[in-house]
Amino acid sequence: MTLTLRECLPDLVTELEALLRAENETALAEQVQFLEIVDRCRCGDRSCATIYTAPKPDGAWRGDLRNILLNTDGLTVLDILDERIVCIDMLDRDAITKKVHKLFP
């Protein structure tokens, strides 16, 4: 079963699209509604809601990597690999963390 970000976290999709457009990242904003959730971070930090939209590599991402820090409650950073969103790093976003941990126990 494939879970999309739009199905699981529609409010997050709306938020990310708006924030990316405000940063003039239109191409990335257009990707958000089609992102599939591959897995979540398994670091054990109870405040971590990081989700992967591409399989997590062994070691570092390879390719043209950049990060976008978004202005949200808590911390939200997008990992962009070759102009594709591969990870949404989120900390201290309690409502999202609860949903992510329920979806991916």
pLDDT in tens, 26-77: 999 999 999 999 999 999 999 999 999 999 988 888 899 999 999 998 999 9
Looking at the predicted structure, is the pLDDT value of residue 86 above 90? yes
φ and ψ at residue 91, rounded to 5 degrees:
-130, 145
Going by DSSP bridges, is the β-strand pair 36-37/84-91 parallel, antiparallel, or unpaired? unpaired
What is the Cα–Cα distance from 88 to 56, expressed in whole angstroms? 12
Neighbours of 60 (CB within 10 A): 7
Q: Model pTM?
A: 0.93
- What pLDDT sits at residue 2? 73
- The answer to whether the beta carbons of residues 14 and 105 sit under 8 Å apart is no
